[in-house]
A = this chain, B = another copy of it.
Amino acid sequence: MTNKTQFENGVLGTNVIAQIGILVHDIDTVSQAYADFFGVEKPQWNWTDTVDVAQTEFEGVSSEARSKLAFFDMGSLQLELIEPDQHPSTWRNHLNEHGEGPHHIAFIINGMKDKVTLMESKNMRLVQKGEYTGGRYAYMDTFKDLKIMLELLENDK
């Protein structure tokens, strides 16, 4: 069996980790620390879009929550720093409950609606979703089985 065939038997159709997301209290300070440590330029951070654009939903309800995001290219994947605002979100709640540190690993998938439905049928709950320029994301509660949250990313062609 080829690798390709194997992964098609999987839920996501891929096993390539595209991002690791890390929650922080102060994105400026932590971005500078990463830049200094890895010898790269400090990236600009950007706010996620406002709810009218992002259509953010947390626990099934429309949410004003936003985060500042900064990305570092780390080999074949991105390390994403996330500083959430004070509105309830998976980012803010996880940061409050667990402190700074890893929040999720992300995979680029095709067919968001079908993947979410398939995961829900396996008792992996949709926690938060939203749109970004050129695509959309969904955080799925996979803690029980996989011991870490997964994020699905779907980019428009």
> Which A residues form the contact surface with B (CB < 8 A)?
6-12, 15-18, 20, 22-24, 30, 33-34, 37-41, 72-77, 79, 98, 100-102, 105, 142-143, 145-148
- Given A17-B20, A20-B20, A102-B102, A37:B75 Cβ within 8 A: no
A122 to chain B, nearest CB (A): 8
Number of copies: 2
Q: Is the interface of A mostly helix, strand, loop or mixed?
A: mixed
9 other A-B residue contacts (CB within 8 Å) besides A75-B77, A100-B143, A102-B102: A11-B37, A15-B73, A16-B76, A17-B77, A17-B79, A20-B20, A33-B145, A100-B147, A101-B148
Given contacts A34-B146, A147-B22, A147-B24, contact A39 B11 (CB under 8 A): yes
> Quick check: B147 and A72 within 8 Å, CB to CB?
no
A20 contacts B146, C-beta separation under 8 Å? no
